[in-house]
Chains A and B, each alone.
Chain A
């Protein structure tokens, strides 16, 4: 998704303003003018200034439409694939400790293969073997405490 520069500029101005506003609530160091707000204030100000320049530059140079969407985003199956990747990963992130990597990872990868147009059952097997191999390598060889979740007793 491509946004017009002037629109991005406006977003940057708003964001810079928000940072400046937030920074004012940070306390100063005792006996000093300088403190936790100094750096964010500087950055927020620069961000708003950069946003202004981007608005000016966008209006001067480009007359494109405000929002331009890439061809690939108009194809339902591809959008579905990205949606599975994003929301699947988000769901896995939120439930990671409970569901665990072996089950959650296999489900995510299988769903992703399916959404990518790889419908055969062997892709479920590929997902399961990949996830189990990674899980075993990480937990047994590298001692990374990846949660086992539902299959805790089995692995």
Chain B
């Protein structure tokens, strides 16, 4: 990949980008700081607006919003013990314990700086690893892509929280929804029930908005939990007092958290929340003071907060190189990349090197911006946390309606959003995670196309699927991903 440095600079450093990144920072911080509104929901709502932007600002908008929302979720976790997004749940005990000890500045100071450092580390890995991987993947055929897609889907099912069977069923729903519309082989309409609007398939953006936003709105109307009053923040600019010494003491943790976060982020299906849980667990396992964990450990915060944001960048490696989403946010980004003609895959690094490099640079900028904007958000946190969700819910529904309509200028988008949203609510109520559904919806065409092509090439000889060395390696990996949990479960059964 040979990018023209001047072009990259002109793509990134212009007034349009400044406006986009500043406004998306504010939006991401606001959504992340309101408990119950997720980073994924924030990005899903943003997609229809990105439709009318140039490719680089569009991706920058999503990256900035997600990075800010993931960090900002630590603010309510510290002040009212309710995480803004699932990513903060792992270390909520430590954040809140530090707040109760009167060290809220230290807790949020560690969070903001570790998040930024983790994010920068993940961005550096993305910038270095993605082009190398893209070169390797130029030799991939339908067999490799089929196994790779299967590996991604398998990892998503295995790493998701909750029942394995229900995760698998959720994935199947997503794959089935992806079969709606004209099939890719002979153009035969499938499961359209005579509706012309379904011939192009289920529109991705309305589906996304529905699946992530509608269940949260329904829960807001039905549950109506009262938010407890927030703890006072004090002077946010005193947060950095003594912080450098803490970070220097835990520099190895900072590095370890960033490495774990990036690695977990690269795995398809595993996002920031899983990264922070794993990083927290590893941190506790190797800590000299494990008894402090959950009671205000600064060490745990360094590990888990850096893992949070580095996972976000790591997830973009498979997304840009193979078009396989690392988490639900990158699933959204893949949709946007396709809309913008930057079709993810190895060829995008050859055909659009300047745009890809500019997008990578925006990752760095977004993570650097976390520090100043994070401080502002912390200063305004008490006001943000005072806004009841019930008052925001109708306005969010308004955004959802506009978003679902505007992508194709078709009212059918609103109906799709509503139907899938209610279905997702029922799924979540019954323990079916919705992230695999979105993964299935995104990857359905890729899996089907490569499966059908490979089956035709194989012509009844299944061994062709594993004849090529990379294909065989990937097939073996898929087997390992499925076999290890099964063996562990079997062992556990014997021991109990």
Contacts and interface: CB of A to CB of B under 8 A. Distances in A.
Interface of A: 1-3, 8, 12, 19, 22, 26-27, 29, 32, 34-36, 38-40, 43-44, 46-47, 50, 53-54, 57, 70, 72-73, 78-79, 81-82, 85-86, 89-90, 92-94, 96-97, 101, 105, 108-109, 112-113, 116-118, 127, 130-131, 134, 138, 142-146
Contacts of A131: 398
Interface stretch (B27-35, B90-98, B273-281, B409-417): B409-417
Given A22-B191, A82-B222, A101-B402, A50 B165 contact: yes
A72 B49 contact: no
B172 A1 contact: no
A89 B186 contact: no
5 nearest CB pairs, A to B: A93-B414, A72-B222, A36-B183, A112-B394, A96-B411
Interface bin, chain B: 35 or more
22 contacts: A2-B429, A12-B169, A26-B190, A32-B456, A44-B176, A47-B169, A47-B172, A47-B176, A53-B165, A54-B169, A70-B429, A72-B223, A85-B217, A85-B221, A89-B414, A89-B418, A93-B401, A96-B411, A109-B397, A118-B390, A144-B48, A144-B52
Q: At the interface, is chain A mostly helix, strand, loop or mixed?
A: helix
A53 B167 CA distance: 13
A134 B399 contact: yes
Interface string B186-217: 10101100000000000000000000000001
Contact of B394 (A35, A40, A97, A109): A109
Interface in B214-248: 217-218, 221-224
B394 A127 contact: yes
Given A35-B185, A40-B190, A127-B394, A96 B402 contact: no
B452 interface: yes
Given A29-B185, A36-B188, A93-B412, 7 more contacts: A1-B426, A2-B430, A32-B456, A38-B451, A89-B418, A101-B401, A105-B401
A72 B224 contact: yes
A43 B430 CA distance: 21
Contact of B418 (A3, A90, A117, A146): A90
Contacts of B406: 138, 142, 144, 146
Given A8-B430, A90-B415, A90-B418, A82 B165 contact: no
A146 B413 CA distance: 13
B411 A39 contact: no
Select the residue from B188, B398, B447 with max chain A CB neighbours within 10 A: B398
Interface in B405-455: 405-406, 409, 411-412, 414-415, 418, 422, 426, 429-430, 447-448, 451-452, 455
Contacts of A29: 185-186
Interface of B, helix, strand, loop or mixed by DSSP: helix
B463 interface: no
Contact of A144 (B393, B409, B456): B409
Given A8-B430, A50-B168, A112 B186 contact: no
Nearest to A42: B451
A43 B441 CA distance: 13
B487 interface: no
Interface of B: 48-49, 52, 165-166, 168-169, 172, 175-176, 179, 183, 185-186, 188, 190-191, 217-218, 221-224, 390-391, 393-395, 397-399, 401-402, 405-406, 409, 411-412, 414-415, 418, 422, 426, 429-430, 447-448, 451-452, 455-456
B118 to A, nearest CB: 33
B434 to A, nearest CB: 15
A31 to B, nearest CB: 10
Given A27-B188, A92-B401, A1 B429 contact: yes
B218 A82 contact: yes
Contacts of A22: 190-191
A72 B223 CA distance: 6
Contacts of A40: 176, 179, 190-191
B176 A89 contact: no
Contact of B391 (A50, A73, A105, A118): A118
A124 to B, nearest CB: 11
A70 B411 contact: no
Contacts of A145: 409
Contacts of B456: 32, 34
B95 to A, nearest CB: 28
B422 to A, nearest CB: 7
B199 to A, nearest CB: 13
Given A109-B397, A112-B394, A43 B429 contact: no
Given A27-B186, A39-B179, A108 B52 contact: no
A12 B224 CA distance: 32
Contacts of A70: 222-223, 429
Nearest to B413: A93
A55 to B, nearest CB: 11
A50 B168 CA distance: 8
Contacts of B422: 86
Nearest to B176: A43
B455 A34 contact: yes
A35 B168 CA distance: 24
Contacts of B398: 105, 108-109, 130-131, 134
A36 B430 contact: no
A86 to B, nearest CB: 7
A36 B455 CA distance: 13
A7 B183 CA distance: 32
B393 A57 contact: no
